[in-house]
Amino acid sequence: MSKRNVSRRQFLNYTLTGVGGFMAAGMLMPMVRFAVDPVLAGGSESDFVATKQKIKDLSTEPTRVDFSFTQVDGWYESEVTNTAWVYKTKDGKIVALSPICKHLGCTVDWGGDKEHPEQFFCPCHYGRYTKDGMNVKGTPPISPLDVFTTKEKDGILYLGQRKPHGEA
């Protein structure tokens, strides 16, 4: 034991700071937790939807992959089927393109135009995109096709969020 005596004033100071600190922490902790929660919750597993496509069956030729999920829209829950054009690049990277034309929202097809078999084709106003989804100059679309984020799990292809080209 030290010989230094703790004065009454010091004792009160210590205890009040201690107790006050606990009280402040008790109030602040939940607030901080609430504030950082969106950051911690980001990138949850459920954003990805399983498809029926096996990764090993993918080729360098874009294949049509349908996938469905339940969408809650206000008070109305429905099963939505979406489509993606999926292929492997030469270095084995998987690319999943959205089939929604960036002009006015029609559905594009791979090789839909006989004169341009190696391009995506929009039947509405003859818009075209190259294989990597870039819009062909001189056709109506003004931006490249959107891209889905992809994931592989147990050899099955999972598709995630749809993002503008270059962000996925």
Interaction of residue 104 with other proteins, rule CB under 8 A: yes
Interaction of residue 153 with other proteins, rule CB under 8 A: no
Judged by CB under 8 A, which stretch of 23-31, 98-106, 130-138, 150-158 contacts other proteins? 98-106
| CA separation, residue 53 to residues 141, 151, 156, 158 (Å) | 29, 12, 6, 8
Query: What is the three-class DSSP state of 27?
Result: helix
Nearest distance, CB of residue 52 and other proteins, angstroms: 10
- Among 84, 95, 101, 145, contact with other proteins (rule: CB under 8 A): 101
Query: Do residues 100 and 112 make contact, with C-beta atoms less than 8 angstroms apart?
Result: no
End-to-end CA distance of the chain: 64
- Among 53, 96, 103, 158, contact with other proteins (rule: CB under 8 A): 103
Residues 69-88 that bind other proteins (CB under 8 A): 81
Least Cα distance to 150 among 98, 80, 108 occurs for: 98
Enumerate binding residues for other proteins (CB under 8 A).
81, 101, 103-107, 122-125, 140
